[in-house]
Amino acid sequence: MVIPEPIQINPLSFSKGTKRVCKLCGKGAKYMCPSCRVVFYCSKEHHKTDYIGVHSIVCSYLAQLRGEPPEITSEAQRKDYEEKMRKIKEKCRAEAVNQASAFLSRQEYVQALPGARLSLSLARELFDPSSPQLVPAYLQVGEAAMGRGYLELAETALASARWIILQHSSVLHTSEPVFSDMDDPKVQALVRLRGKLHRQTGKLHAFQKDFKSAIIETAHDTYLSALSSGGPDSAHTAVAFCHLGNLFLKTGENKKSVKFFDKAAMFLRKALDKTIFDEEEFPLEGGEAAEPRVMLERLAQLQKKNGDKERAGKMFVVLGCLALVTGTPEERGDAYSKTVTGVDILREVLDEDSDDMKWAIRCCEYVKKRCGAR
């Protein structure tokens, strides 16, 4: 990516009383984007961070949104202009969300935060302060802020998301959702958001070394993930189980950790089998599966090192299939080597005609075909 040189600005060139501040930190600005000329920065470094994170994608949108409006002479023109701006904001917000999601999936928090903050800013302009549409943006900001170590910003973002969800608790038939509520799409969407909020809050507690609170929050996420995805053995529940397993690993409760990771691998295998063999759509997006892949790969390497070959082999096959259906292009390129590793390990401990061995070989052949590997 070629990053354009920002233009140095002269504060005297702006009208009296006008103060330009850095988009990333709020300090006095010294530079501006040379293309849109409506976004300002305190340093070349902040310009570079924002350009890589989101600005390269949304520069033209921001030029239209933040530039001088045209002269409007009628009510019809005003309505047309407002509708045009609304559509541009929607497109810009969607691009910002996608950029932040992509960087978060790779745990590149420095680059993720600009897009997350921009999506939140635009969501605030588009929706009411209590709209559930704001919650995903607050959660993205919270996650990116935690990754940067900005825990105060993360706390503020998650508190705002929690406040919004509480405003909509009346859509639930009881104080706690139950399976019968899931027939209502509004309830299902709210429960899913609530689960994600518990997950992010659990991460925040883990950053603060309060593992007891982190486990409680993540347990709530597990319950709500099961509710909103149709049962306790879903891929969404598997993600929550991975986070629980990781927390128990951090507290030294290794037996509990292994149980949760085993369950997670089992649920993911079930979902992957439906995708690979029954051609059903995989229920997780790339960003949702990114952290579980990292956790499970660490565990697979540890199991391999400790001689737990059957568990390690199955885990590598699951990881290869998961990389294929949810990974980035680079990660998909490694999918076949992971499944081959899993099959080779399993051959040391399983008979060729065993069900698990047949499953692993079939998965490996599928990944090979999809990857075009030789």
Please tell me the predicted confidence (pLDDT) of residue 46.
96
Please tell me the predicted confidence (pLDDT) of residue 242.
95
Please tell me the predicted confidence (pLDDT) of residue 45.
96
- Segment-wise mean pLDDT, segments of 10 residues, the chain, 374 residues: 89 69 92 94 96 96 92 92 96 94 88 96 96 95 96 96 86 53 77 92 95 96 89 92 95 94 95 93 85 90 93 96 88 92 96 96 94 64
Please tell me the predicted confidence (pLDDT) of residue 86.
96
Structure tokens at 217: 């929050």
Among the listed residues 332, 313, 330, 263, the one whose alpha carbon sits nearest the alpha carbon of residue 292: 263
C-alpha to C-alpha distance for 272 and 324, rounded to whole angstroms: 10
Classify the C-alpha dihedral 18-20-25-28 as positive or negative.
negative
Q: What is the pLDDT of residues 235-255, one digit of tens each?
A: 999 999 999 999 999 999 999
Structure tokens at 134: 């704001």
Stretch (H or E) spanning 221:
helix 211-229
C-alpha to C-alpha distance for 111 and 104, rounded to whole angstroms: 8
Give the Cβ contact number of residue 259 at 10 Å: 15
Give the Cβ contact number of residue 37 at 10 Å: 15
What is the domain partition of the chain in residue ranges? 1-69, 187-203+213-263
Give the Cβ contact number of residue 96 at 10 Å: 28
User: Looking at this protein, which amino acid is placed at residue 171?
Assistant: V
Among the listed residues 285, 295, 265, the one whose alpha carbon sits nearest the alpha carbon of residue 359: 265
Please tell me the predicted confidence (pLDDT) of residue 42.
94
Structure tokens at 35: 């293309």
C-alpha to C-alpha distance for 80 and 185, rounded to whole angstroms: 33
C-alpha to C-alpha distance for 6 and 33, rounded to whole angstroms: 5
pTM above 0.95, yes or no: no
Give the Cβ contact number of residue 305 at 10 Å: 9
Residue found under tokens 């009881």: 174
Please tell me the predicted confidence (pLDDT) of residue 221.
94
Among the listed residues 53, 54, 26, the one whose alpha carbon sits nearest the alpha carbon of residue 40: 26
User: Looking at this protein, which amino acid is placed at residue 264?
Assistant: A
Please tell me the predicted confidence (pLDDT) of residue 296.
92
- Contact (Cβ atoms closer than 8 angstroms) between residue 139 and residue 156: no
